[in-house]
A and B are shown apart, each in its own frame.
Chain A
């Protein structure tokens, strides 16, 4: 008890007396970043040392369940959080980081200000890269960041080194004659995303902007044809409910608006990121929520729907269930699209927010065109199916609503299982 009193008294006293100093090691977390460009690849290491006055709060943020032990899931989540805030680029192209080592001291030592967390990542360094940039946005406030370049046994020679953003950003010129092959004429393929590449290049003129937005629309359309984006839901729902063309347009529009709004909202959250928000947990959470909505809609349709006894039922039901359509459209659009999100974040990062928003809208328009078009095709096909005269076609039309409800429910259940399993791994 006496020890506790001494502790509390000292803490208060030290805080009060140290207050006039603006920032000093006693009340901040020191981050030392090491960047090692080698021929065998790039190594990025971050040493995080919370000093004594901030260490208890730091540890309690990492030790989520508060049991005084940093479990593998807690250290894993923290390491992922830090990685999320590290941006490593070679010639403007972001490099993915692979965690290769993590060292966490015991929680009590860390809480007493006597420990250092060491996280190490590896990345592939593209041959011929000329400029390396590393930005550490991890902010367990208050914090200070120092960064340095290390020389390994197989170095890529380093030229000028510059620091900015109070130490958070380090840039280094790479002088590797051996790997300095002529730069590829079209570096677009290096990140695998033409929109990200376009954001990094200057625009030649207004027509270049128009061409860029057209390309974004096309990419959105192509993207909609890839996996995801609720196409299975859209198809199952429209066909199963015998919807009108207007309903198809409505559902496609809702899905597209939700999709765009989700990207915008998530982008804003990430940009204003509080230090302890775990952005990588957002996607599985949203997927689970969306899955529950879809599952409920599917199950309700299964329960309420009786086998149709005559013509025109599908038509009638289609008019009766606008709320189901709205819910499905919102749910399908709720899951964030990483490609679109990447464009938005990079646009803000490189100071071209307006262009990024324009590209995002063009991308969404392309996406919407495909989804609405697909919906219209399905509605027209479904109508023709229902009006068909052949007995086999009629039987198929009779079974469609039931089959569609089952598909919707199964897709919803799949989204819930997938989202929850990702969350459990956290």
Chain B
């Protein structure tokens, strides 16, 4: 079966993509020579309750974005102290209310554009690729007025923890940094992110808010009082940067805690964790819904209490972007199933080297992959692809129902 082409491909489009490849290669070369003394200090990326909307913070009046490469954190402490998670009850109801407020600000054509059926095909219509390479549906942020943007980001604020919201903001801002560094419009940038609502938002029955673009795909599924972020694609390029005077490293904890975990294993455990052959790309990335991987790597059943704590800290980094009230039962399930959890690794064990890792338990699977080499699709530790999934329960807020 040949998949129909959704849009017309042009020579110019191909040329722009390859031009980006060239520009990115140059950019990566420049980044790799950045001084390492400009690393962010503790707490430098701590968000405020009044954090600006994703994508808006670092964009200057003329549409350009300030940005420069910053050194990656080398320890967990360098990532800053995460904010206290809100455990206010009624998060799902708050998301519903925020969504309805957003919809109320749209005209009929916008509502039609942003809405879609909650079919498996529509749910899976997300990607880490830029708009030039992936046909997205919905409403893009730069097509919304200021009031509509605020309402749309209000949906994200209601669904995410302050930590998660800040990560989203840093990823989208970072995409603006990448766009300004490469100096061209390649279908990505700080405001090239799309909102889409699948299903009918209501107090019962599942419905999903999607927010995504280059290096980000959030799937917020609400069903009654329950909520999930699975699956979510988390990416970053550059993985750390300074924009508008503020340093950021969106996937800092996800990086440093993994190295801390690997470093805390003894030689035998490390050997078991190491995959036999190199893995450099996500196995369950975009377009690979509905799959459950057989576990590989070292079993956490062999872990000491300290190693178990490190593993819980690492997995927590991936679950805590969700609103605290909703994350709590998921974290409890992770802890309960710790003995059935595995940790797999590919690459060097020294922080600063490109790696792939996978953590997997009965209720979740996490993959993290530095995109190795040079160029647009690569960049080593300056370019991260990652995915969080809940096997058998992606897009399902209330498993088993």
Contact = CB atoms under 8 A, between A and B. Distances in A.
Interface of A: 3-4, 6-7, 9-11, 13-14, 17-18, 20-21, 23-27, 30, 32, 34, 47, 51-53, 70, 72, 75, 101-106, 108-109, 111-114, 116, 144, 146, 148-151, 158, 161-167, 172
Given A26-B375, A112-B133, A167-B278, A149 B15 contact: no
Given A104-B3, A108-B9, A163 B276 contact: yes
Interface residues of B, number: 50
Nearest to A32: B283
B22 interface: yes
Given A106-B2, A162-B276, A163-B277, A11 B371 contact: no
A148 B283 contact: yes
Contact of B275 (A6, A14, A27, A163): A163
A6 B287 CA distance: 31
B11 A7 contact: yes
A52 B377 contact: yes
B377 A13 contact: no
Given A106-B9, A112-B9, A101 B1 contact: yes
Main secondary structure, interface of B, reads loop
Given A14-B25, A144-B280, A114 B129 contact: yes
30 contacts: A3-B11, A3-B16, A7-B11, A9-B19, A10-B15, A10-B21, A10-B22, A17-B29, A21-B373, A21-B378, A24-B371, A25-B377, A26-B378, A30-B281, A32-B281, A32-B283, A47-B288, A104-B2, A105-B3, A105-B5, A109-B133, A146-B279, A149-B293, A149-B294, A150-B291, A150-B294, A151-B292, A164-B277, A166-B278, A172-B294
A151 B293 contact: yes
Interface of B: 1-5, 9-22, 25-26, 29, 129, 132-134, 275-281, 283, 287-288, 291-294, 296, 371-378, 391
Sorted nearest first, the 7 A-B pairs with minimum C-beta distance are A24-B373, A114-B133, A108-B9, A7-B15, A163-B276, A106-B5, A149-B294
A332 B41 CA distance: 80
Given A106-B2, A106-B5, A20 B374 contact: yes
Nearest to A111: B14
A3 B12 contact: yes
Nearest to B26: A17
A70 to B, nearest CB: 6
A113 B29 CA distance: 22
Contacts of A104: 1-3
Contacts of A25: 280-281, 371-373, 377-378
Contacts of A166: 277-278
Contacts of B280: 25, 144, 146
Contact of A167 (B16, B279, B292, B378): B279
B1 A18 contact: no
Nearest to B129: A114
Contacts of A148: 283, 293-294, 296
Nearest to A69: B2
A154 B18 CA distance: 45
A26 B276 contact: no
